[in-house]
Amino acid sequence: MPEPRSVTLLGSTGSIGTQAIDVVRAHPTRFRVTGLSAGGSDVGLLAEQAALLGVDAVAVADAGRAAGLREALAARLGGDAARVEVLAGPDAATELAGRGADVVLNGITGSVGLRPTLAALEAGSTLALANKESLVVGGSLVKAAAAPGQIVPVDSEHSAIAQALRGGAHSPGRSEVRRLVLTASGGPFRGRSRDEIKTVTAEQALAHPTWAMGPVVTVNSASLMNKGLELIEAHLLFDVPTDDITVVVHPQSVVHSMVEFHDGSTIAQASPPDMRLPIALGLSWPDRLDTVSPPCDWTRAAEWTFEPLDETTFPAVGLARAAAAASATHPAVYNAANEQGVAAFLAGRIGFLDVVETVERVLAEHDGVAAGDVDLAAVEGAEAWARARADEILARS
């Protein structure tokens, strides 16, 4: 039997991280978790995970939580706590990601995941990527750092596409793919008009009908901003033009995405909504693990529906297409302005529609950097400008 793959989990206390631990613990001969990272809001859970998995190192982004983390480790491990290395500060996850584990699962939320993504790729690790923002923001930088096949997508939509692409040729110079079809649940406001969602609350936006996710991703799903990010991600991951990527609304969230081929065939990946399946594939790719998630029950009647996206009520996907076409830094601006808007909405300072409207205004003001001139400093500079400009606009909303 082969040696277990060494795994580093970034964002281990979040939704992706906790489900990844479920997968690892269910397959103890396949994986050994060597490192964990988290923001620091729950050092007790991080210490509990470290003790449960027997990791070598933990990283916490909030340096002020390092002492609390050490205390929590000591409470659970006693004298053995000294063997667990504690990294602390904004660069801690990046350092941990660059230590060369066989697989680094990046489950961090937001563009703060970009540097850890680059560190994992530069160290030669397989990157199981749930942090779509790092690819959206980093774009050509991430692609340039990655060897063929080094990035394995963990978003359910992109995992579905990667699986479906096995059904046809898709490589430089020869592709049988006509288009990619991203499915969207439609979120909690599917079927409503702009007037009807103008006054919705954060509590309503967080009531997703299908998925249990963190607050930022859930609000992004409600606005369809998440689908815009996924469109840019699919364009970059699979080298398919954005005009050849379609978004359709599929409320049941059973068909996770589809690939349409030139001969008229469409291959879809279907499974009940459970993120453990794409997480498991991210950790074990190209192999499949046994018994990760229950399959569809074909003995029961079921109905799957597909609807066109209402781009008038939900313009975020169209903005994503425009951002991807505009320049190498427009996607970073798209994401950064949205992150500021979501934070303001969750804090009760602005309305729901103000989030995407702010993104549109900030995008329109950005000059952009050409792909040939972009580097990490240019990307981070564009992000910083977008956050500051979005905050100015939001302060007047």
List the chain domain ranges. Answer: 5-153
Average pLDDT over residues 175-183: 96
Give the Å distances, CA to CA, from 238 to 235, 281, 327, 334, 396.
6, 17, 19, 20, 40
Average pLDDT over residues 255-275: 96
**What confidence category does residue 397 fall into, taking pLDDT thresholds of 50, 70 and 90?**
confident
- Asked if 108 contacts 339 with a C-beta cutoff of 8 angstroms, the reply is no
- DSSP, collapsed to helix, strand or coil, labels residue 211 as coil
Contacts of 38 (CB under 8 A, 6+ apart): 11, 12, 13, 14, 17, 45, 46, 58, 59, 60, 61
The distance in angstroms from the start CA to the end CA of the chain is: 60
Q: pLDDT digit string (tens) for 11-66? A: 999 999 999 999 999 999 999 999 999 998 899 999 999 999 999 999 999 999 99
Q: pLDDT digit string (tens) for 120-130? A: 999 999 999 99
Average pLDDT over residues 151-170: 95
Q: pLDDT digit string (tens) for 59-94? A: 999 999 999 999 999 999 998 999 999 999 999 999
Q: How many CA atoms lie within 13 A of 150 on its CB side?
A: 18
Average pLDDT over residues 131-153: 94
- Asked if 238 contacts 170 with a C-beta cutoff of 8 angstroms, the reply is yes
Contacts of 109 (CB under 8 A, 6+ apart): 11, 14, 131, 133, 214, 216, 217
* pLDDT at residue number 262: 96
Rounded CA-CA distance 1/265 in Å is 39
Q: Which CATH architecture has domain 5-153?
A: 3-Layer(aba) Sandwich (3.40)
Rounded CA-CA distance 37/117 in Å is 13
- Asked if 332 contacts 386 with a C-beta cutoff of 8 angstroms, the reply is yes
* pLDDT at residue number 1: 65
**Residue 79: which region, alpha, beta or left (left: phi > 0; alpha: psi -120 to 50)?**
alpha
- Asked if 53 contacts 80 with a C-beta cutoff of 8 angstroms, the reply is no
Question: Count of CB atoms within 10 A of residue 286's CB?
Answer: 10
Rounded CA-CA distance 119/311 in Å is 37
Share of the chain above pLDDT 90, in %: 91
Rounded CA-CA distance 257/182 in Å is 5
Rounded CA-CA distance 137/8 in Å is 22
**What confidence category does residue 210 fall into, taking pLDDT thresholds of 50, 70 and 90?**
confident
The tokens describing 361, both together, are: 């205004």
Rounded CA-CA distance 248/164 in Å is 17
**What confidence category does residue 208 fall into, taking pLDDT thresholds of 50, 70 and 90?**
confident
Q: pLDDT digit string (tens) for 366-388? A: 999 887 889 999 999 999 999 99
Rounded CA-CA distance 27/7 in Å is 13
The tokens describing 7, both together, are: 């795994």
* pLDDT at residue number 363: 97
* pLDDT at residue number 104: 98
- Asked if 170 contacts 267 with a C-beta cutoff of 8 angstroms, the reply is no
**What confidence category does residue 214 fall into, taking pLDDT thresholds of 50, 70 and 90?**
confident
* pLDDT at residue number 396: 86
Rounded CA-CA distance 370/362 in Å is 18
- DSSP, collapsed to helix, strand or coil, labels residue 71 as helix
**What confidence category does residue 143 fall into, taking pLDDT thresholds of 50, 70 and 90?**
very high
The rounded mean pLDDT for the chain is 94
Q: Which residue has the higher pLDDT, 345 or 40?
A: 345
